[in-house]
Structure 1
Amino acid sequence: MPAELAADLARAVGFQHAFARRRTPREVTVPGGFAVLDERYPGSHDDNKLIVGPGPVPETPDEAAGRLLRAADEVLAERAHRLVCVDDDRLGAALAPAFRAAGYDHETNLIMAFRGTTPSGSTVAERLSLAELLPVLRRDWRHTLPQAPDEVIDGLARRVEGRLRGADAVSFWGVRAPDGEIAARADLYEHGGVAQIESAFTGADHRGKGHARALMTALLAKAAEAELIFLVADAADWPKDFYAKLGFEELGRTHAFLRT
């Protein structure tokens, strides 16, 4: 891997780790990484997980998998799920067979950096306060989980409050449909010269109408002064191709193992 690419990948992964540590109420050290835990949202995968960073692994892949599986069972013992995020591509690929055998689903994610031409500013997107964002999150979660109790939907929405501690600047942005409803939304995290675009989402009734492109264009213009702008995309899903058309290129891959 070219040195510049490797440096940007390390910087993006480091940003994510620091963000997770700053936002969590409780951090637990595990061999080769750490866990984040939030008692307020025990069902939230993103707020309760093990994170394994890049670095040398002294064991064989099977031994490393056994160690991590035991750590997940111990640290997440009070949770109904187990999530282990491995931020090293080769290690994650090597661990995959053992995790699948243990009943975990495997997802590969792409860390993508913006390498395109910075767009000019846009007035289409607007910054959303928490008071404006929370009803939108409740609406979208209710659409995704129509049978869930109201308290579950509210908890899923309110997790966003913890993100405010994750970086020096955390902002929430949206683009409205002609009827005034928020059609697309995303978070922007900025810290130490790095910017991450996260939680990009377009409502089911508003897709294919250019709202996501307008939003992304606005966020790229907003973060134009950052030394590195990145996002994370599912390697098996179509948004990665949309981001590539906007000027994002793959830096590297990470792996997530989930059992529910």
Structure 2
Amino acid sequence: MAFQHAFARRRAPREAAVPGGFAVLDDRYPGSHDDNKLIVGAGPVPETYGEAREAAERLLRAADEVLAARGHRLVCVDDDRLGAALAPTFVAAGYEHETNLIMAFRGPAPSAPVVAERLSFSELLPVLRRDWRHTLPQAPDEVIDGLARRVEGRLRGADAVSFWGVRAPDGEIAARADLYEHAGVAQIESVFTGAEHRGKGHARALMTTLLAQAAAAGLIFLVADAADWPKDFYAKLGFAEVGRTHAFLRT
């Protein structure tokens, strides 16, 4: 979690203190959940329902204050037991609750050929615009452009930040992902395969390249939704659950 906290702080133009943690803020992209959120680290786990409700209410007030100019509220709790204790109050307040798995690579070094290629931000930008337009067909162009351009801020998050893609036979980027490397730790993030390219081995080829690229790291990890199928795909590649975090979102 220290890696993710430091990454968030390095990329954020502004931050603010909140109970048990901090908030990251980027006024350039007010609609970006990932760039405007509260992050709560490990802390004392409430022993009673009343204590848990009081702790959650403090965070609810902090979210309303710090994210007052935003159209969303996002609170990330990086301690599994604490997040589970806070969940009932957040859900009662209208927040969606998501549990995420921290998965570390425990498998053998990849032996398949490296087929993914490194992309510059300028090469990645039109791909991001295309994918966001497919996901949000009714969104204004300025919203799509902001969602795509916010990724440039990730370049400040670690010593080495790189973007990777695998091409379909027609040359289109079929699958893409980020790789963050810092102080012997590597995170694979934002793995995405276009709907029309799924089931063709592009994601596996992409992950093989990223694992080979980060092979010298002492730890390679990623974050997966506990309720979604990619976690099973990552497990087949050699990733194992080492922890859980919680996210509470209201839009």
Does the TM-score normalized on the shorter chain lie above 0.5? yes
- 1:196-218 Cα shifts (integer Å, max 9, x gaps): 00000000110000000000011
Paired residue type of 2:7:
F
Please tell me whether the aligned partners of residues 178 and 190 of structure 2 are also in contact (alpha carbons under 8 angstroms): yes
Residue of structure 2 equivalent to 1:62: 53
Deviation at 1:82, TM superposition (A): 0.2
Structure 2 length-normalised TM:
0.97
Contact 2:80 2:243 in 1 (8 A): yes
1:10 equivalent in structure 2: none
Aligned to 2:84, what secondary structure does the other structure show?
Answer: helix
The yes-or-no answer on 1:35 pairing with 2:23 is yes
Note the C-alpha offset of 1:121: 6.6
Q: Distance in 2 between matches of 1:15 and 1:77?
A: 27
Quote the Cα distance in structure 1 between the aligned partners of 2:46 and 2:173. 49
Contact 1:109–1:254 at 8 Å: present in 2 too? yes
Aligned to 2:87: 96
CA deviations over 1:112-131 (Å, ceiling 9, x no partner): 00000011373310000011
Q: Which runs of 5+ in 2 are unaligned?
A: none
Mapped to 1, the partners of 2:20 and 2:187 lie a distance apart of: 24
CA distance in 1, matches of 2:207, 2:27: 33
- Structure 1 length as normaliser, TM-score? 0.94
CA distance in 2, matches of 1:90, 1:58: 9
User: How many residues end up aligned between the 2 structures?
Assistant: 248
Whether the 8 Å CA contact 2:45–2:85 is kept in 1: the answer is no
User: Could you tell me how far apart the structure 2 residues matched to 1:80 and 1:243 are?
Assistant: 33
SS of 1:187's equivalent in the other structure is: strand
Q: Distance in 2 between matches of 1:22 and 1:193?
A: 17
8 Å CA contact 1:121–1:222 kept in 2: the answer is no
Does 1:48 find its partner at 2:36?
yes
- Is structure 2 residue 119 aligned with structure 1 residue 128? yes
Give the alignment partner of residue 225 of structure 1, picking from 198, 205, 216.
216
Unpaired runs of 5+ in structure 1? 1-12
Q: Distance in 2 between matches of 1:54 and 1:120?
A: 38
CA–CA distance in structure 2, aligned partners of residues 220 and 82 of structure 1: 34
SS at 2:180 equivalent:
strand
- Matches of 2:225 and 2:136 in 1, distance apart? 21
> 1:118, 1:189 → 2: CA distance?
18
In percent, how many aligned pairs have the same letter? 87
Question: In 1, are the aligned partners of 2:53 and 2:86 still within 8 Å (CA)?
Answer: yes
Equivalent in the alignment of 1:161: 152
Deviates more, 1:39-48 or 1:59-68: 59-68
How many angstroms apart in 1 are the aligned matches of 2:112 and 2:229? 26
